[in-house]
Amino acid sequence: MQQYAVETFDLTKRFGNYTAVNGINLRVEAGTIHSLLGPNGAGKTTVLNMLSGVLKPTSGSAKILGFDVEKEPEKSKSLVGYLPEEPQIYETLTVREFLRLVGRAYSLPNDVLENRIDEYLELFDLKRVEQNFCGALSHGMKQRVVVCSILVHDPKVILLDEPFYGLDPASSRLFKEILRDKATNGCSILVSTHILEIAERLCDRVTILSEGRIVAEGTMDELKAKAGMIENTTLEDAFLALTRRNERSLEKQL
Ligand SMILES: Nc1ncnc2c1ncn2[C@@H]1O[C@H](COP(=O)(O)OP(=O)(O)OP(=O)(O)O)[C@@H](O)[C@H]1O
Ligand SMILES: [Mg+2]
């Protein structure tokens, strides 16, 4: 039986009477980059929060590399690097201190940690600000530091919620190259984004959420075929067709 990097089983989250995520069965194959797309309010952040253990599901469950997120939280969390929609950064720590704090939380040996920090500071052109306070950095620089912080402990599964927001073109390109390189080396990545061009170019498979349900899943070509698109149409056309179709069918049910 194939083990998925991420697998959910009728995963559901209700806030009061509102069902934000409605019984989804999501699967991310190991060594792939998988995109989670959907209109505002579709439930993407709620799914990622449940996968990372930040939110408890109302019902259903999720596994990270076979470990149940609720029953085996330490194992599943140790495998995951999560970049949330609104990342927290300690404003009064320097860049290096912040990266050390994160690395130590994952019990990395000091020499490995310092080498990794050097490597990522260099890669993301942050060496010159390593002694600056995080609070004094520009928005995009903070985002680069947060990206470094999730890579520093070498996670096997990376969960990203709108990770490209605020990154300049060079950092964005670099981050995409790092993600592809990680996937080639067996890491699995689930990324929510509104930038369909990124999903189309970067991701192996796509899941489209709408109103808390999965409305489509597959490769770009499969999604285009599902949306009834002919060749040379874009993922944007398929996305709009599939999510509109879902809205119309919901309207009919009401
Ligand atoms: N803590 C909460 N309490 C009540 N409702 C919530 C809470 N968190 C999310 N919701 C609702 O659940 C739904 C899904 O929200 P979520 O943030 O997961 O959407 P999203 O797909 O990430 O949207 P976006 O593209 O705007 O980031 C929304 O209707 C939202 O208002
Ligand atoms: Mg969101």
- Tell me the per-residue pLDDT of 220-243, one tens digit each, with 9 for 90 and over: 888 888 777 666 677 788 888 888
- Per-residue pLDDT averaged across 34-42, rounded? 94
Residue 189 in contact with residue 198, Cβ under 8 Å? no
Q: Which atom of ligand 1 is nearest to the CA of 49?
A: 18
More confident residue, 86 or 250: 86
Domains and CATH numbers, the chain: 6-85+156-253 (3.40.50.300)
109 Cα–ligand 1 center, Å: 38
Which residue, chain included where needed, has tokens 């609070």?
A: 135
Q: Give the ligand whose atoms come closest to the C-alpha of residue 49.
A: 1
What was the pLDDT predicted at 113? 95
More confident residue, 88 or 252: 88
What was the pLDDT predicted at 214? 95
Mean pLDDT of the chain: 91
What is the C-alpha separation between 244 and 250, in angstroms, rounded? 10
Q: Which atom of ligand 1 is nearest to the CA of 194?
A: 25
87 Cα–ligand 2 center, Å: 12
185 Cα–ligand 2 center, Å: 28
Q: How do 59-64 and 213-218 pair as beta strands? A: unpaired
Judged by DSSP in three states, 98 sits in helix
- The pTM for the full model equals 0.92
Residue 6 in contact with residue 31, Cβ under 8 Å? no
243 Cα–ligand 1 center, Å: 17
Strand-pairing partners, residue 53, are: none
Protein residues with CB under 6 Å of any ligand 1 atom: 15, 20, 38, 40-46
Q: Where are the alpha helices (DSSP H) in the chain?
A: 44-51, 73-79, 95-105, 110-123, 139-151, 169-184, 196-202, 220-226, 235-253
pLDDT per position as a tens digit, 117-176: 999 999 999 999 999 999 999 999 999 999 999 999 999 999 999 999 888 898 889 999
Q: Please list, residue by residue across 211-231, b when 16 or more beta carbons sit within 10 angstroms of its beta carbon and e when fewer do.
A: bbbbbbbeebeebbebbebee
What was the pLDDT predicted at 253? 47
More confident residue, 96 or 249: 96
- Per-residue pLDDT averaged across 203-219, rounded? 94
What is the C-alpha separation between 33 and 158, in angstroms, rounded? 9
What was the pLDDT predicted at 192? 96
254: pLDDT confidence band, cut at 50, 70 and 90?
very low
